């Protein structure tokens, strides 16, 4: 069992802008849609970024900004427009 509980699932998925600031170079931004909060958004963005910790170009800081609820399509389902998402959530 993990040392802390996962955050409760939201009633509707949320969009986040995750900014990854590397040790050297320019910040990188990712847009993420998830039901599971900013921690999940950060995990997905850092995994996708592929430039991890422990290297000279590694991650210095990460910030997740909530952008509001995910869009809803004409069919009433979540509309994902190129944002990162976990296919196991949708």
Taking only the tens of pLDDT, the chain with its 90 residues reads: 444 455 556 689 999 999 999 888 899 999 999 999 999 999 999 888 876 655 656 788 999 999 999 999 999 999 998 899 998 887
Q: How many domains, in total, are found in the chain?
A: 1
Query: Considering the entire predicted model, what is its pTM?
Result: 0.80
Q: Considering only CA atoms, which of 41, 31, 17, 33 is closest in space to residue 77?
A: 33
Q: How many whole angstroms separate alpha carbon 67 and alpha carbon 83?
A: 12
In a domain, 22, yes or no: yes
pLDDT at 9: 60
Q: How many whole angstroms separate alpha carbon 64 and alpha carbon 75?
A: 29
In a domain, 72, yes or no: yes
pLDDT at 2: 47
Other beta carbons within 10 angstroms of residue 14's beta carbon come to 21
> Under a CB-based contact definition with an 8 Å cutoff, are residues 18 and 42 in contact?
yes
pLDDT at 59: 84
In a domain, 85, yes or no: no
Pairing of strands 14-22, 28-34: antiparallel
pLDDT at 90: 76
In a domain, 56, yes or no: yes
pLDDT at 75: 94
């Amino acid at each position: 069992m993990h040392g802390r509980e996962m955050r409760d699932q939201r009633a509707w998925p949320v969009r986040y802008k995750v900014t990854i600031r590397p040790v050297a170079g320019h910040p990188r931004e990712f847009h993420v849609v998830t039901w599971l909060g900013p921690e999940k958004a950060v995990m997905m963005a850092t995994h996708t970024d592929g430039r991890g910790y422990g290297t000279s170009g590694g991650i210095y800081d990460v910030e997740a900004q909530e952008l509001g609820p995910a869009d809803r399509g004409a069919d009433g389902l979540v509309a994902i427009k190129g944002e990162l998402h976990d296919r196991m959530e949708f």
